[in-house]
Amino acid sequence: MLIAKVVLPIRLHQIFDYIVPDVLVKTIGIGQRVQVPFGRRQAIGIVVELCHNSQFASDKLKSIHLLLDEQPLYSAKLWQFLKRAADYYHYPLGEVLFHALPILLRQGRPATLAETWVWQLTQKGTIFDYRNLTRSHKQQALLKLMQSGGKIDNSDFSPTIFKALQAKKLIEKVAVLPVRHHWHMDIVAQQPAFQLNAQQLNAIASIEQHLTQFAVYLLEGVTGSGKTEVYLQSIQSVICKGQQVLVLVPEIGLTPQTIKRFKQRFNVPMVVLHSAMSEKARLAAWLQCRCGDIAIVIGTRSALFTPFRDLGMIIVDEEHDTSFKQQEGWRYHARDLAILRAKIENIPIVLGSATPSLETLNNAESKRYHHLLLTERAGEAELAKQTILDIKGLVLAAGLSQPLIAKINQHLANDNQVMLFLNRRGFAPLLICHDCGWIAECPRCDKPFTYHQNQNKLICHYCDTPRAIPDQCPKCGSTHLVPIGFGTEQLEKQLNILFPGIPVSRIDRDSISKKGCLDHYLQAIHQGGRHILVGTQILAKGHHFPDVTLVGIVDVDGALFSSDFRATERFAQIYTQVSGRAGRENKTGEVILQTYHPEHPLLNILLHEGYPAFAKQTLVERKNTFLPPFSYQVLIHAADRNNQYAPQLLQKVAMWLNDHYPDPDLWLLGPNQANQAKKAGYFRWQLLLQHSQRSKLQILLNELVLMIEQLPEAKNTRWSIDVDPIEG
């Protein structure tokens, strides 16, 4: 009797045995989907193993109901990759295998390209004189157009016109399969008008040395140093061999400008995977990549799971960006997994950034990665002049000091643009009762609500819950409620008052939440002329603003005094990225940073010596304090609604570890309340594990995860394992 071991998309490390009915024995295989009875319902699962014995008696086993695929959905290499990825993050294989599929495949749709329906002339229609259709001009026009072989724009003709011609047997609907693209036969690359500089040529030459084997490159170059040009040249070498390329970009990095540049360069089929895509389009892209019809895939972290017929290179742009790490469910890091995938596919991978993560820099330093540097700005643009502005004792208007306001005036007077960076959206981070000090707090998170004046609401920035603004203080009845502090909304209002007649664009999550809004703002800015941009860190991501000559960092002190050891790294990255926006394209720029702590060593090293010096020093500190990347961490999260089971579960985990893995190199910290102790009604706890050897942690986790799944508390808590956490 043949037994299929099947995984289901559930959060358990369990594999289920099913009997393979005789009719399926010849066609069933690993990596194919099956429909199976599961509890009282039918579920879709994936076959992970076929064998002849089960630990259960055969009369206890159920049979597979349906086989959904005749071929495996995953190539051998993709399969190996996903299994290793599930192992590394100790996440159930079923969830991982399903995660890698488009939703329609998870739901059981066939894995074949859907045919599309098109209208075509019947024999009668080809010879029929369209002038005889005297009753309808539209019908005449459509038939004439089709007879002349012209392109039909569906928006010109309503479906009833088509139906009318169909009723007259002049046209008919036929199914066509999508055409296969043989794109590699005639690639045309539109070469740039400029000469590549020596560093770019050197970077390209190094990458081309290892096009047929695994190699990791760190391409480190300041904003505007020509990294994208290096990607494009390397991509060209790969697609000219007929191989495909995957380009991963951060969540908000999908700028129309970058995509346009890729599309202008090559005449090959390209697909951009983004969150607004329809499920049908996503499935089509998945299938087309798998059969090799798409040459270049650009997408955010989940694009990593795209199947390819022949992948030749992976590029991770802005590799330091934290949006590559998924923060819930399966907490994988797309950059790290991209490296694993490149290794299994035996191909090169290029990690690009102006501000590489300390992990990546450390790997480059220890020669595990090839380090390619672009130190000069391409073309003639010069680096901006940077100044620290001490605001102690100064009068501030929505955070702006008089000297900064004067600078803004000066730059605007020269017809230039100004960008102000403030990483806090909304009007004010607090609404407080002037008479008794009551603070409006989200009851689900115990954190202050942010006051959003434009929407006339309070919004919790931790759980997104909106609230009406109270008329009165619930504690003392006073109607004197005042906003304290300032966010981007208030800054925008203040700028409108200070600089009447100057257009101000605010770019943050609130203002660009509607589709197309960001493009609209970017267009206005790119028209040039005097303009002020206000924004959060979205501004730091890959947008080019050639007319911006002044960047003002309104408030940095929050980042400098955080309890998270990674906060300074994040700040240094954002600062460098934002200040890199100033003065591109032959306009020398200026950066002004307002702070109460002008003597702060981090600010000084960043401003006077730059990000590489900052990174070097921070790596020394991390080494001395034994923090990542010089040790490895795993965070076990647990959350519940009554604040009991979660700490109990973690307490048991800590005790179990002390009993089973008495290792002086294993450090346990906690159980502690998470930094954000309560979120959306859940009390959050965590236990940190740290070890000098990654492999030791991996071994103990194998056992630990199975142990936790058996704990009674596990049923009443939301728990998860976070390997290589980046927060907390």
Q: What residues line the site for Zn ion (CB under 5 A)?
A: 433, 435-436, 438, 442, 444-445, 460, 462-463, 465, 473, 475-476, 478
| Interface region with ligand ADP, contact rule CB under 6 A, candidates 182-190, 227-235, 299-307, 440-448 | 227-235
Partner in contact with 504, chosen from Zn ion, ligand ADP, none, beta carbon below 5 to 8 Å by kind:
none
Rounded-to-integer distance, Cα 314 and Cα 308, Å: 12
Partner in contact with 196, chosen from ligand ADP, Zn ion, none, beta carbon below 5 to 8 Å by kind:
ligand ADP
Q: Interface with ligand ADP includes 265 (CB under 6 A)?
A: no
Partner in contact with 476, chosen from Zn ion, ligand ADP, none, beta carbon below 5 to 8 Å by kind:
Zn ion
Would you say 225 or 363 has its CB closer to ligand ADP?
Answer: 225
Rounded-to-integer distance, Cα 236 and Cα 224, Å: 20
* Residue given tokens 């000091």 in the structure block: 401
Residues in the chain: 728
Partner in contact with 226, chosen from ligand ADP, Zn ion, none, beta carbon below 5 to 8 Å by kind:
ligand ADP
Q: Interface with ligand ADP includes 194 (CB under 6 A)?
A: yes
Supply the minimum distance, in Å, between the C-beta of residue 378 and ligand ADP.
Answer: 3
Would you say 463 or 502 has its CB closer to Zn ion?
Answer: 463
Q: Interface with ligand ADP includes 356 (CB under 6 A)?
A: no
Would you say 379 or 601 has its CB closer to ligand ADP?
Answer: 379
Residues sharing a CB contact under 8 Å with residue 699, sequence separation 6 or more, in sequence order: none
Among 136, 197, 410, 716, indicate the residue that binds ligand ADP (CB under 6 A).
197
516-524: list long-range contacts, CB under 8 Å, 24+ apart. Answer: 519/256, 522/255, 522/256, 522/257
Would you say 543 or 684 has its CB closer to ligand ADP?
Answer: 543
Would you say 9 or 610 has its CB closer to ligand ADP?
Answer: 610
HEC readout, 529-565: CCEEEEECHHHHCCCCCCCEEEEEECCCHHHHCCCCC
Supply the minimum distance, in Å, between the C-beta of residue 197 and ligand ADP.
Answer: 5
Rounded-to-integer distance, Cα 34 and Cα 132, Å: 56
Q: Interface with ligand ADP includes 226 (CB under 6 A)?
A: yes
Q: Interface with ligand ADP includes 586 (CB under 6 A)?
A: no
Query: Please, what is the angle between helix 159-167 and helix 137-147, to 10°?
Result: 80
Among 225, 490, 576, 631, indicate the residue that binds ligand ADP (CB under 6 A).
225
Among 223, 244, 511, 717, indicate the residue that binds ligand ADP (CB under 6 A).
223
Identify the DSSP state of 151.
Answer: P
Please give the size of the binding site for ligand ADP, defined by CB under 6 A. 14
Q: Interface with ligand ADP includes 228 (CB under 6 A)?
A: yes
Q: Interface with ligand ADP includes 378 (CB under 6 A)?
A: yes
Q: Would you state the torsion angle of the CA atoms of residues 708, 713, 717, 721, taken in this order, to the nearest 10 degrees?
A: -20
Joined tokens for residue 328: 């819930």
Rounded-to-integer distance, Cα 403 and Cα 391, Å: 9
Would you say 219 or 408 has its CB closer to ligand ADP?
Answer: 219
Q: Which of 246, 244, 252, 296 is nearest to 270 (CA)?
A: 296
* Residue given tokens 């329609």 in the structure block: 104
Query: 651 exposed, middle or buried (CB, 10 Å; 0-12, 13-18, 19+)?
Result: middle
Q: Would you state the torsion angle of the CA atoms of residues 505, 508, 510, 514, taken in this order, to the nearest 10 degrees?
A: 70
Q: Interface with ligand ADP includes 200 (CB under 6 A)?
A: yes
Supply the minimum distance, in Å, between the C-beta of residue 471 and Zn ion.
Answer: 12
Q: Interface with ligand ADP includes 196 (CB under 6 A)?
A: yes
Residues that bind ligand ADP (CB under 6 A): 194, 196-197, 200, 221, 223-229, 378-379
